[in-house]
């Protein structure tokens, strides 16, 4: 026969363990949510950089329509996946529509700007991923497809 005091200690220990598990389950998601420092500015930066990529691909003179089509489609897919991940359409900032052509010795200046903008878009995606309410896997795949599409030169 087990003494009554031992039963109470065993029950109390089990109750304490269950309580600690319940508290941990509630606190951990809250702590995880607090670590996201992304804002709407980060998401807008991602959208703007994707717009810069789109415009630079279209402005490239040395590429034919076929060579431009694959990257253009990849940018459109990435923008669509971004809008799906945030749950609404995002218009690009006016700055995203400005075509800048670097001067200097580059053979493909628009491709250079597109790659720089894509690098900035990747960094913005990594920063903003935690702030997106929807699934980010489709956007991650779209960004990988865009990366491959930009390797045409």
Record the tokens describing residue 142, joined without a space: 């779209």
Task: Compute the distance between CA of residue 40 and CA of residue 89 in angstroms, rounded to an integer.
Answer: 13
Same domain for 26 and 59, yes or no, is no
Same domain for 105 and 140, yes or no, is yes
Same domain for 21 and 69, yes or no, is no
Same domain for 108 and 54, yes or no, is yes
Long-range contacts of 119-125 (CB under 8 A, 24+ apart): 120/45, 120/49, 121/46, 121/49, 121/50, 121/53, 121/78, 122/147, 124/42, 124/43, 124/45, 124/46, 124/49, 125/46
Q: Which domain covers residue 9, as residue numbers?
A: 1-35
Same domain for 127 and 52, yes or no, is yes
Q: Is a pLDDT exceeding 70 seen at residue 106?
A: no
Same domain for 53 and 114, yes or no, is yes
pTM: 0.71
Same domain for 23 and 52, yes or no, is no
108-146 per-position pLDDT tens digit = 777 888 889 999 999 999 999 999 999 999 999 999 999
Same domain for 67 and 1, yes or no, is no
- Quick one: pLDDT at residue 108? 74
């Amino acid at each position: 026969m087990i003494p009554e005091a031992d039963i109470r200690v065993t029950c109390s220990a089990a109750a304490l363990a269950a309580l600690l598990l319940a508290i941990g389950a509630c606190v951990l998601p809250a702590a995880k949510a607090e670590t996201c420092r992304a804002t709407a500015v980060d998401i807008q930066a991602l959208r703007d950089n994707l717009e810069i990529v789109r415009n630079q691909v279209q402005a490239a003179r040395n590429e034919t329509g076929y060579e431009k089509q694959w990257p253009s489609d990849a940018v459109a897919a990435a923008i669509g996946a971004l809008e799906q991940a945030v749950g609404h359409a995002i218009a690009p900032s006016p700055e995203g529509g400005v075509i800048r052509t670097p001067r200097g010795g580059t053979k493909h200046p628009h491709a250079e700007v597109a790659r720089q903008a894509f690098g900035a878009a990747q960094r913005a995606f990594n920063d903003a991923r935690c702030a997106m309410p929807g699934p980010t896997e489709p956007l991650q795949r779209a960004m990988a497809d865009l990366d491959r599409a930009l390797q045409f030169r």
